Amino acid sequence: MSAEVPHRPSQSLESRLLRRLLSHLGNPPIEIVLNWTGERLAPQGRSPIGCLRIADRRTLLSIMGDPQVRIGDAYSAGRVNIDGDLVLLMRSLYGSTSARDGSRSIWRHLTPWHRRPRRNTLVGSRSNIHRHYDIGNDFYALWLGETMIYTCAYYPSEESTLDQAQTAKMDHICRKLRIRAGESVIDAGCGWGGLALHMASRYGARVRAFSISREQIDYARQRARVQGLDGRVEFIEDDYRNISGKHDAFVSVGMLEHVGVENYAVFGHVVRRLLTAEGRGLIHSIGRNHPEPTHPWIEQRIFPGAYLPSLAEMMHVFETTGLSVLDVENIRLHYARTLRHWIERYEAAADRVRAMFDETFVRMWRLYLAGSAAAFEVGQLQLFHVLFTTRENNNIPFNRQYMYAADVL
């Protein structure tokens, strides 16, 4: 059989390579412009929702060598620019890849996965945490709101503000844990202290709160003094592995992401050891529908050592340690909304961020926040609350209405 060679319009080598890359990405509805040739690559059979402009040939060739990391770097450096809504554009990218392959990111087909996240040993964790959380309390204060809480909020209604939703999240957690006055609570990975202070001031708990970020601990201690809570809340700069004693409740919000899946069993044993016979615990963590490596740009540029587990992986914390899972809630869409609120504040403060750092930093964090919002909106990321207790505890409510009773507070 003979085949006619179809007529092809003349195209640069770069544009043919790009076409191939786009095809691998599931042909997202994004137009690509090569600034140095003026070529425009429209999406095949779809109208574009945005435009990605590549500044020069060198940038393109760099991206082709390691797209996962270098697209992000090129965007940060201003050598890739984007017209259109960044979140929407990232959504379309996630959507295109997930439509082609229901359970796996397409990225792994482009670049073999050989990068290992940084280890979360006692020393490694300190370094990893330092690199993200110690870049400046003033920076985070620009966009996290009054509560200074850097984890998924919980929106009572569509009209709720970020601060209201962060407060509602803390109450949701305290209700789930049934925190009572006088109880001893461990907060592992306490951030800037918002939850620990809330548990003490609103629920009367005695809290020992841990972080290995020095900046966070300093900030949290200052807040405790200002609020007159330093007698009830102790902020301790130490690793979760060094927590001791027996306590009524354990809570960890947004720390599991930094524990590393290889340490989940150890983490679970620590938690079990800390709980009294009727102790309860809650772990709040970003997760996934299925195991998948951390995006290498995120792991290298934003969250060294981070890993976001599937529920099956999270269960390593519990299933080797005599803990019993009572309740799992997925509040994914709340993180999408939280991120939209952060992005709004971040963009409003972009000039001050630029003054603190530089334009590259502004763009790098813009991409990280927009990519995260998109990932939650399309279901690439999930947010799990896992409530648990000791295996032997029978003093547990028969249903979950207590979490929703209007008169709890």
**Residue 85: which of 382, 272, 266, 344 has the closest Cα?**
344
Write the binding mask 263 to 292 for a second copy: x where contact by CB under 8 A, - elsewhere: ---------x----------------xxx-
- Cα–chain center distance at 108: 20
One of 311, 343, 370, 374 touching a second copy (CB under 8 A): 311
One of 224, 323, 362, 373 touching a second copy (CB under 8 A): 323
3-state SS assignment for residue 150: coil
44 is a site residue for a second copy (CB under 8 A):
no
Stretch binding a second copy (CB under 8 A), from 34-42, 223-231, 247-255, 389-397: 389-397
Minimum CB distance to a second copy smaller for 66 or for 319: 319
To 5 degrees, how large is the angle CA 212–CA 135–CA 351? Answer: 150
One of 226, 277, 396, 408 touching a second copy (CB under 8 A): 396
Minimum CB distance to a second copy smaller for 355 or for 396: 396
One of 155, 250, 267, 335 touching a second copy (CB under 8 A): 155
212: left (phi over 0), alpha (psi -120 to 50) or beta: alpha
Question: Secondary structure of the chain: what % helix, strand, coil (to 5)?
Answer: 45, 15, 35
One of 28, 188, 377, 383 touching a second copy (CB under 8 A): 377
Strands (E), 172-309: 184-188, 206-211, 233-237, 247-253, 275-287
One of 12, 201, 320, 360 touching a second copy (CB under 8 A): 320
Give the residues across from 30 on adjacent strands.
Answer: 50
One of 143, 250, 303, 318 touching a second copy (CB under 8 A): 318
3-state SS assignment for residue 10: coil
Rounded Cα distance between 145 and 148, Å, is 6
399 is a site residue for a second copy (CB under 8 A):
yes
154 is a site residue for a second copy (CB under 8 A):
yes
Minimum CB distance to a second copy smaller for 87 or for 403: 403
Rounded Cα distance between 226 and 198, Å, is 14
Residue with tokens 């990893």: 128
Write the binding mask 98 to 137 for a second copy: x where contact by CB under 8 A, - elsewhere: x---xx----------------------------------
Q: Residue 62 has which token pair? A: 């760099």
Parallel/antiparallel/unpaired status of strands 382-390 and 247-253: unpaired
Smallest gap from Cβ 61 to a second copy, in A, equals 35
Binding site for a second copy (CB under 8 A): 98, 102-103, 154-156, 272, 289-291, 310-313, 315-316, 318-334, 377-379, 382, 391-394, 396, 398-401, 403-404
